[in-house]
Amino acid sequence: MNRLDNCVAVVMGAGSIAPGWGNGKATAVTFAREGAVVACVDANMSAAQETAEIICSEGGKAHAYCADVSIDADIARVIAEINQKFGKIDVLDNNVGIARLGGVTDTSEADWDLVMAVNLKSAYLAMKHVIPIMVDNGGGSIINISSLASISYSGIPYVGYSASKAALNHLTRVTAAEFAARKVRVNAILPGLMKTPMVSSAPEVVEAYAGGLDVEAMWAVRAAQVPMGHMGDAWDVANAALFLACDESRFITGAELVVDGGTSL
């Protein structure tokens, strides 16, 4: 349908942490398939390049960039490079995220600070540098990838992850309110139990859900918690992001789109 024709989209976390399709990778490819030129940004340059190469192999347009999204200088540099190359930024997808297992009493200060920097500070920094560009060009759409963990407890303690994503929700709301009159829309997606490489590549998650048995056992446990009977995947998040990126959602801002197969019910 080419819903993003003539758009420049920046996807933060466009690589995949392990083989397969992570949310950022699927979102970058989906944006490109709908006509966007995609700037694929990741801390791992080879992962960003892999996503960009997939897009180009399909006839799309993409460029890879390397940045630590928790560092202001890195974000400022890469956003300036993208803006200089393309002259605008229409869509920003903040898709980075990490989790560390643990509750309040057993999460280390170092883990807390790291999770907050990657999950929350990164979105603040990206929006800080992208919003002025969007305002100068008449508006844009920002999608922050939060989590169902921001509004509910799954029984697995990820206190830093949950708190950072809850803060991201409110950062989304207040930024949406501040910039609505300047035609910058800001929305959040809250994925539920998803079947992605970020989950399967974390031994502590397999241990928490399935007693360390194996990844397939973990998938079965997680799927059983979803009313629809199965988990979602990266393409479900990507399609939600596409809706929020394009003009079909032009009257939506400050929203939290839950993508969870009914788990939150």
Taking the CA atoms of residue 198, residue 201, residue 207 and residue 210 in that order, the dihedral angle to the nearest 10 degrees is 80
DSSP for residue 194: B
Of the candidates 44, 38, 35, the one whose C-alpha atom is nearest the C-alpha of residue 15 is 44
- Residue 17's contacts (CB-CB under 8 Å, 6 or more residues apart) are 47, 197, 198, 201
DSSP labels, 81-148: HHHHHHS---EEEE-------B-TTT--HHHHHHHHIIIIIHHHHHHHHHHHHHHHTT-EEEEEE--G
Query: Residue holding tokens 């690589």?
Result: 15
Q: In what order do the strands lie in the sheet with 8-12?
A: 61-66, 37-42, 8-12, 91-94, 140-145, 184-191, 256-259
Helix, strand, or coil here: 65?
strand
User: Choosing from 65, 158, 161, 209, which is the catalytic residue?
Assistant: 161
User: Does the annotation mark 158 as catalytic?
Assistant: no
CB 234 within 8 A of CB 163: no
Of the candidates 44, 58, 48, 46, the one whose C-alpha atom is nearest the C-alpha of residue 11 is 48
* Angle between helices 23-33 and 234-245 in degrees, nearest 10: 50
Residues with catalytic annotation? 161
